[in-house]
Amino acid sequence: MRGIAVLGSTGSIGCSTLDVIRRHPDRFRVVALTGGTNRARLEAQASEWRPALSVLAADPDSDRRLIEVATRPDVDVVVNAMVGFAGLEATLAALAAGKRVALANKESLVVAGELVERARVAGGGELVPIDSEHSAVWQCLVGHGGRASRLILTASGGPFRQWSADRVANATVAEALNHPTWRMGNKITVDSASLANKAMEVIEGHFLFGVPYQAIEVVVHPQSIVHAFVEFPDGSVLAQLGFPSMELPILYSLSYPERWTDPGVRRFDPVAASALTFEPVRVDVFRAFSAGVAAGVAGGTAPAVFNAANEVAVARFLEGRLPFGRIAATIETVLERHRPGPQESLAVVQAADRWGRAEAEAVIG
């Protein structure tokens, strides 16, 4: 029995993780659950799973208790399914304590990829992806010498894939939340509509697999069946396929290096999946994508500032206070004003995050 902590258990990935664990009761003991503000759901989960600890971010002393959850001796696996910058400290603490971190919180790697890698090496922890594209890359790499010459991540293209730039600029909240292939939390759903999410995934891929930015490409694939392609030095290309569902990547992050039978995972059917199509990203329309990748390439504190500006802009958009088109414009303006420095410490990254948020608020007005 492995002890598991689910951070962000009340969210989309958190609930899917508990659905997967429910089908493998002999393998896991749920030691801790944490949520943000949804007290009723956390209490319902706690009464089902009887964890030693459950923590709500809205409660007093929650920061310290979150770190306690991530580092407890009886926790072997930490599933980080929190959203946003808030997930970073738990990722660092769990890796420094030698845990396996099954990472859905891609923001951890976006804002502090270098620090995350340092914490992993120092603590002997293990970092495994839950994000479907990165799970796909990982599954292709296992057993193939681990060396990729090129990664091609797929993107659904989101609800505005074929829209004109003018129409995208004035898209409503309901339209942005109407994702064609995935059901996810609101923040990542908006990020998928702006393609900021795909820029984050390029940065995530760079740090997870040590692949240089110029060897990471993105292609739009509206059916979301092929999750990523991996090219090897000899030119051979492998891909991982499946109907869009996060349960398989979650399962693999828990079962690795084994593969477990799971009746809850929908079996693949090539006829039902066809046809599979691929097209380029419209970088002129989806400017948050280009801005995010450029921040990743600039490195240091730039990706933390990109993330901070995006988090603020998305929150304002969801409140109905910012047009969709101004999400990318806000990110661009804040990044233009930023002078990136090295990613020296958590304090430096936190300061960059605070600066990026304040600048974004000022730009939005």
Span interacting with Mg ion, options 54-62, 126-134, 170-178, 313-321, rule CB under 5 A: 126-134
> Is the preceding peptide bond at 298 cis, omega within 30 degrees of 0?
no
Tell me the C-alpha to C-alpha distance, in Å, between residue 212 and each of 173, 215, 300, 341: 35, 6, 15, 20
Any contact of residue 136 with ligand NAD (CB under 6 A)?
A: no
Cis peptide bond prior to 180, omega within 30° of 0 = no
Contact between 131 and Mg ion per CB under 5 A: yes
Residue type, 36: G
Tokens representing residue 23 in the block: 């089908």
191 binds Mg ion (CB under 5 A): no
Whole-Å CA distances, 66 to 53, 60, 120: 10, 11, 18
CB of 14 or CB of 125, closer to ligand NAD: 14
CA dist., res. 221 & res. 149, Å (int): 21
Q: Which stretch binds ligand NAD (CB under 6 A): 159-167, 183-191, 265-273, 290-298?
A: 183-191
Helix or strand (DSSP H, E) at 200:
helix 196-209
Site for Mg ion in 52-71 (CB under 5 A): none
In 3D space, the residue among 195, 186, 129, 105 whose CA is nearest the CA of residue 156 turns out to be 195
In which residue are the tokens 């990722």 written?
Answer: 91
Q: Which residue sits closest to ligand NAD, CB atoms considered? A: 11
Q: For residues 319 and 321, what is the distance between their CA atoms, to the nearest angstrom?
A: 5
User: Could you give phi then psi for residue 150, rounded to 5 degrees?
Assistant: -160, 140
- Report the residue from 21, 81, 116, 195 that binds ligand NAD according to the rule CB under 6 A: 81
| Number of residues counted as binding Mg ion (CB under 5 A) | 3
- Span 9-38, contacts to ligand NAD by CB under 6 A: 10-14, 35-38
- The nearest distance, CB 106 to ligand NAD, in angstroms, is 5
**49: Cα separation from own chain's centroid:** 25
Q: How far is the CB of 67 from ligand NAD (least distance, A)?
A: 12
Residue ranges in 86-105 that form contacts with ligand NAD under rule CB under 6 A: 86, 104-105
Q: Which of residues 219-278 bind ligand NAD (CB under 6 A)?
A: 246
Identified binder of ligand NAD from the candidate list 89, 131, 311, 359, rule CB under 6 A: 131
6 DSSP β-pair partners = 33, 79
Cβ pair 115, 345 in contact under 8 A: yes
Binding partner of 248, given ligand NAD, Mg ion, none, CB within 5-8 angstroms per partner class: none
Which of the choices ligand NAD, Mg ion, none does residue 10 contact, using the CB cut-off of 5 to 8 A by kind? ligand NAD
Nearer CB in complex with ligand NAD: 127/333: 127
Q: Which is nearer to ligand NAD, 167 or 247 (CB)?
A: 247
Nearest approach in angstroms of CB 339 to ligand NAD is: 27
Residue 113 or 325: the one with the smaller Cβ distance to Mg ion is 113
Contact by Cβ (8 Å): 96, 119: yes
Sign of CA dihedral 220, 223, 227, 233: negative
In contact, 93 and 67? CB cutoff 8 Å: yes
* Rounded-to-integer distance, Cα 76 and Cα 73, Å: 8
Please select the residue that binds ligand NAD; options are 53, 126, 178, 182, rule is CB under 6 A.
Answer: 182
Q: What is the CA radius of gyration of the chain?
A: 19
CB of residue 83 vs ligand NAD: minimum separation in angstroms? 4
- Piece in contact with Mg ion (CB under 5 A), picked from 96-104, 123-131, 273-281, 342-350: 123-131
Contact positions toward Mg ion, by CB under 5 A? 131-133
Binding site for ligand NAD (CB under 6 A): 8, 10-14, 35-38, 57, 81-84, 86, 104-107, 131, 182, 184-185, 187-188, 246
